[in-house]
Structure 1
Amino acid sequence: MSGGASKEGQGLLLAFASAAALGTNIVSAQIAGAAGLGGALLVFYRVLIMLVLVGAAALAAAAPLGLLRSERRPVALFGLATALVGTAYLSSVSFVPVSVAAVIFYTYPVLIVLAEPLLTPAPFRADRLAVALVAFLGIALVVGPDLHGLDPRGLCLAALASLAATAQFFAAAACAPIATMPKLFWSHVVILPVALAIVALTGGFLPPQAFLLAPIAVAVTYGGYLVGFVLQILALARIAPGPAGLAFCAEPIVAVAIAAVLLGERLGALQYAGGALVIAALVANVILEQTRRRPVPA
């Protein structure tokens, strides 16, 4: 296997692992929210924890955190897009059901596939678009959107989150040559004031002691985010936005499966069928990427 193929294979594996970690994070955040710990509060503290951990790791390893002038813009764009994803998605569920917000949000893999030929040298691939559409249909069946209470504000915010996630993947790809620690640190420096503003606007600030209300859920939430975000950055440094976005369709499937096991949520036939569609799309994505990388016989 060539070095490029090996790198892309690693990227797919890292993307799947990131999706699994972030899927775990969703369920534990729901449990923490039921204990009175709002999403905005969790976002603020997880960003703060990431900054402290990355800063401490850089200090212990004597790793530089500085950015070249040419690196500042892509990192700032990545941080801004990441902040918008969390802000818009978190705010959307105040106006529409979570299921509706999730279905709108997970249009972003389709948007990535459509935008990739416009923003990168990659050609348009109809097979990848077909896989993305199948995955989206599967997610819609799994989440099972509740079509009641469709406030336009929530729909617009969920759509903004989808657009921001699309931008996040391309911004992360542009940051691929930058070392991981500076990328993590400075992107979260950008995210922190946005998260703090949300907490201030919602009036949901609580001291860290409040996490004792649901310590295990909080620990899993932060662990899932920290691991998932780091793996996402590592994945997007190795693989193009198109296949990476499709790999992240696994995230809601993992979340629903964990919710069924831990929270006792019952799954219907349509949800099982949707899960099968997403899994089929993920397998097809891997096969298509391997076929594309396979050298043509002379």
Structure 2
Amino acid sequence: MSGARTSEGQGLLLAFASAAAFGTNIVSAQIAGAAGLGGPLLVFYRVLIMLVLVGAAALLARASLSLLRGQRLPVLRFGIATALVGTAYLSSVSFVPVSVAAVIFYTYPVLIVLLEPLLTRAPFRADRLVVAIVAFIGIALVVGPDLHGLDPRGLALAGLASLAAAAQFFAAASCASIATMPKLFWSHVVILPVTLLILALTGGFLPPQAFLLAPIALAVTYGGYLVGFVLQILALARIAPGPAGLAYCAEPIIAVAIAAVVLGERLGSLQYAGGALVIAALVTNVILEQSRRRPVPA
């Protein structure tokens, strides 16, 4: 039991670290976008870079990238869900403001908590649902959605991204026993055709020389994604979808804080209040998870 508790604790820490990396990635991607490097282009190259790096690492370590017959379908589901998250979320901001898309997207931790008893053996936990709702309210206050000019297509795509994110967490949990490198490699093999299709439809392809338009922002963007995704894989192999999903509520808070420091964006009182709510929810989540892992006295 102590080994399981240690693994779950490590999973929660890895999830927070992953959320921090993804939060950094959001701000740098915004800077790269302002330099003329569109979202679809960034997604395409980050998938390509991940495939090259994982392939090279496997070659140097002489590690196998093969999957057993029973492992292929779980990895395929994980890859499809991951592709849908990026595709739908990226597409939604073409029709609605980013803030609206973000608020809809971050309903996924609530969805995970509601679906976990149906899709896994975990019991329903009302306290976890309350924490998820409080965190969502905090995120809504921090992001401050602009409710003008809402397009149903954007709302639907953001909702699809939220559903896909929830599916991604459950799919990752089903892949927990699969080695990290094959899981990373083949999930991105699945993601690559989707990114190519988006790039073809948007017509925004640029050669690698375009990286010189914003080299530092791109380095942070790709570094944040690579580190965040690897840590996410490691976290979801150690912790259940419910507590993991709640840990990722830290991502938009970190992104807003970095934007305030790097981009000079001013925060209002509601944003500070929302940030405090999210932090309170995250601390409560950690306390609740630790209390559940505590052995019952004989």
TM-score band, normalised by shorter chain = over 0.9
Counterpart in 2 of 1:153? 153
Per the TM alignment, residue 279 of structure 1 is displaced from its structure 2 partner at its CA by: 0.3
Please give the per-residue CA displacement for 1:13-51, whole angstroms capped at 9, x wherever unaligned: 000000000000000000000000000000000000000
The two structures have a TM-score, normalised by structure 2, of 1.00
Q: What SS class does the counterpart of residue 72 from structure 1 fall into?
A: helix
Matched, 1:179 2:172: no
Shift of 1:167: 0.1
Asked if residue 65 in structure 1 is aligned to residue 65 in structure 2, the reply is yes
Q: Deviations over 1:46-84 (max 9, x none)?
A: 000000000000000000000001000000000000000
What is the alpha-carbon distance in structure 2 between the residues aligned to residue 214 and residue 226 of structure 1?
A: 18
Deviations 1:150-195 (A, max 9, x none): 0000000000000000000000000000000000000000000000
2:225 counterpart residue number: 225
What does 1:132-281 align with in structure 2 at a 5 Å threshold?
Answer: 132-281=132-281
Q: Report the Cα distance in structure 1 between the residues aligned to 2:123 and 2:133, rounded to whole angstroms.
A: 18
Specify the SS of the correspondent of 1:123: coil
For residue 45 of structure 2, give the secondary structure of its aligned residue in structure 1: helix
Q: In angstroms, what is the RMSD of aligned CA positions?
A: 0.5
Counterparts of 1:165 and 1:233, CA distance in 2: 13
What SS class does the counterpart of residue 15 from structure 1 fall into?
Answer: helix
What is the aligned partner in structure 1 of residue 116 from structure 2? 116
Q: How many residues end up aligned between the 2 structures?
A: 298
Q: Deviations over 1:95-153 (max 9, x none)?
A: 00000000000000000000000000000000000000000000000000000110000
- Which secondary structure state, in structure 2, belongs to the residue aligned with residue 251 of structure 1? helix
What residue number does 1:74 align with?
74
2:50 corresponds in structure 1 to 50
Q: Distance in 1 between matches of 2:48 and 2:34?
A: 22
Instruction: State whether structure 2 residue 285 is matched by structure 1 residue 285.
Output: yes
What residue identity is the alignment partner of 1:222?
Y
- For 2:213 and 2:185, the matched residues in 1 are separated by 29
Q: Where does the alignment leave 5 or more consecutive residues of structure 1 unmatched? A: none
In the TM superposition, residue 221 of structure 1 has moved relative to its aligned partner by 0.2
| Letter of the structure 2 residue corresponding to residue 82 of structure 1 | T
1:106 aligns with 2:138: no
Query: For residues 169-227 of structure 1, what are the alpha-carbon distances to aligned partners after superposition, in whole Å with 9 as ceiling and x for unaligned?
Result: 00000000000000000000000000010000000000000010000000000000000
Q: Secondary structure at the match of 2:233?
A: helix
Moved over 4 A (4+): none
Q: Are positions 1:25 and 2:33 aligned together? A: no
Find the aligned partners of 1:196 and 1:251 in 2 and give their Cα distance.
27
Write out per-residue CA displacement over residues 243-288 of structure 1, whole angstroms, 9 at most, x where no aligned residue.
0000000000000000000000000000000000000000000000
Matches of 1:223 and 1:210, distance apart in 2:
17
Alpha-carbon distance in 2 for matches of 1:112, 1:19: 16
Aligned mates of 1:98, 1:134 — CA distance in 2: 21
> What percent identity do the matched residue pairs reach?
88
Letter of the aligned partner of 1:258 in structure 2?
I
**Matches of 2:296 and 2:177, distance apart in 1:** 29
Q: Distance in 1 between matches of 2:21 and 2:274?
A: 21
